[in-house]
Amino acid sequence: MTARTTPAPALRPAPAAAPLVALLLAVLVALVAALVAVAPGAQAAGYRYWSFWKWSGSAWAYQQVGPAGFVPADGAVDGWRFAVSPDGGQDAARPTATGEFTAICADTPPAAGRKRVAVVLDFGTAADAPGGEQPPAPRTACAAVPAAASSADVLAAVAPPLRYDSAGVLCAIAGYPRAGCADTVAAPAAPAAGGAPADDGPSLGLVAGGALVAALAAGAVWQARRRR
């Protein structure tokens, strides 16, 4: 009788754990990138400058045209505010006073061949002032100027001396500030709930996300070893 030989059981190849680990690592990288994107970044810069406004209806509207190129009509109200504001206009600090033409120009009678333009000057707060300077008190004025006068002419008539830089940017009104022109200033941190300054440490979401990443990484390694 011929002895029957029982073949040895075929060895099953070990599961390919590498593709699984690679996939999990790709997911982890995407998660980390998302967490970094939503984490609080450095404070955006602001600019210390005079912003230009016009009274429209019952509110201030940002003036899209510079003072040298804008010719206000008789009865218009120009507004100016010195403050640390973001660049771009619409988000700049507005004058705090209202622009009521009839109240501002009540003592300036009309004159033939001339127009009246009210001006609101807001020199801002001490927090916005350059170091060592104190902002003057806000004030209003009524300019009686030729009909073709621009807003720059109006301002020169009621609030000299003006200071411009070489590019024509208005740097100072009534001599304020004494130096500087649209200087870059670090924007203040937004206060946290309760008025406390915002913490510069990592956010709770970032810490929790980091813990989740670590847990997923550990799970991926454990699964890979278990299936070998």
182 and 130 Cβ atoms separated by less than 8 Å: no
Is residue 2 over pLDDT 80?
A: no
- Name the pLDDT band for 192 (thresholds 50, 70, 90): very low
Is residue 108 over pLDDT 90?
A: yes
Q: Tell me which DSSP letter residue 8 carries.
A: P
Q: What is the mean predicted confidence (pLDDT) over 97-107?
A: 97
Give the strand pairing for 139-146 and 170-172.
unpaired
Looking at residue 196, its pLDDT comes to 42
SS3 186: strand
- Which of 1-5, 132-136, 189-193 ranks highest by mean pLDDT? 132-136
The pair of structure tokens assigned to 122 is 């807001």
Is residue 223 over pLDDT 60?
A: no
Determine if the peptide bond prior to 136 is cis (ω within 30°).
no
Higher pLDDT, 10 or 109: 109
83 and 56 Cβ atoms separated by less than 8 Å: no
Q: What is the mean predicted confidence (pLDDT) over 156-170?
A: 96
Is residue 173 over pLDDT 60?
A: yes
Contacts of 27 (CB under 8 A, 6+ apart): 216
